[in-house]
Structure 1
Amino acid sequence: MGKNFCHYNINNICRNLGEDKSLALPLFHAYTGCDTTSCFLAKGKKSAWRVWKSYPEVTQAFLHFVDHPFRAVDVSCEHFRHLERFTVLLYDITSNLLSVNEARRELFCKKKRSLENIPPTQDALLQHIKRVLYQGGIWTTCRQAQPSVPPPEGWGWTMEDNHWAPVWMTIPEAAKVCKELIKCGCKSESGCVSRCRCTKAGLPCTELCSCNCQK
Structure 2
Amino acid sequence: MQRNILVYHAVTGCETVSQPSGNGKKTTWKVFQQHGAFLDDLGRGTLSESTIRSVEEFFCRIYSPASDETNINDVRYSMFQKGTKDQEKLPPSRKCLEQHIKRAYHQAQVWFQADVPIPEIESPIGSGWYEDATRRLHPHVSVYDPLPNEFTDIVCCKCKNCATSRCSCRAKNLKCIAACTCNNGVCHNPYSVAIETDSE
1:103 to 75, 80, 95: 75
1:67 to 44, 48, 66: 44
Q: CA separation in 2, counterparts of 1:150 and 1:64?
A: 16
Counterparts of 1:129-168 in structure 2, within 5 Å, are 129-162=101-134, 163-168=136-141
* TM-score, structure 1 as length reference: 0.73
Cα RMSD, aligned residues only = 2.7
What amino acid maps onto 2:37 in structure 1? E
Number of equivalent positions:
180
Q: CA separation in 1, counterparts of 2:153 and 2:30?
A: 33
TM superposition shift of 1:98:
1.0
Q: CA separation in 1, counterparts of 2:44 and 2:122?
A: 17
Q: Provide the residue aligned with 1:17 in structure 2.
A: none
Q: CA separation in 1, counterparts of 2:18 and 2:177?
A: 33
Q: CA separation in 1, counterparts of 2:131 and 2:44?
A: 28
- Indicate the SS of the match to 1:119: coil
TM superposition shift of 1:110:
1.9
Q: Percent identity?
A: 26
Q: Provide the residue aligned with 2:179 in structure 1.
A: 208
Q: Using the TM superposition, name which of 22-31 and 141-150 deviates more.
A: 141-150
Q: CA separation in 2, counterparts of 1:90 and 1:181?
A: 30
Report if the CA contact (8 A) 2:93-2:146 is conserved. no
- Indicate the SS of the match to 2:108: helix
Q: Are residues 161 and 53 of structure 1, via their aligned partners in 2, closer, same or farther at CA, if it must alter by over 3 Å?
A: same
What amino acid maps onto 2:138 in structure 1? A
Q: Provide the residue aligned with 1:169 in structure 2.
A: 142
Runs of 4+ in structure 1 off by over 4 angstroms are 186-194
Spell out, residue by residue over 1:19-50, the C-alpha distance to the aligned partner (whole angstroms, 9 max, x if none). xx212111110000000000112211121110
- Indicate the SS of the match to 1:64: coil
* TM-score, structure 2 as length reference: 0.78
Q: Provide the residue aligned with 1:89 in structure 2.
A: 61
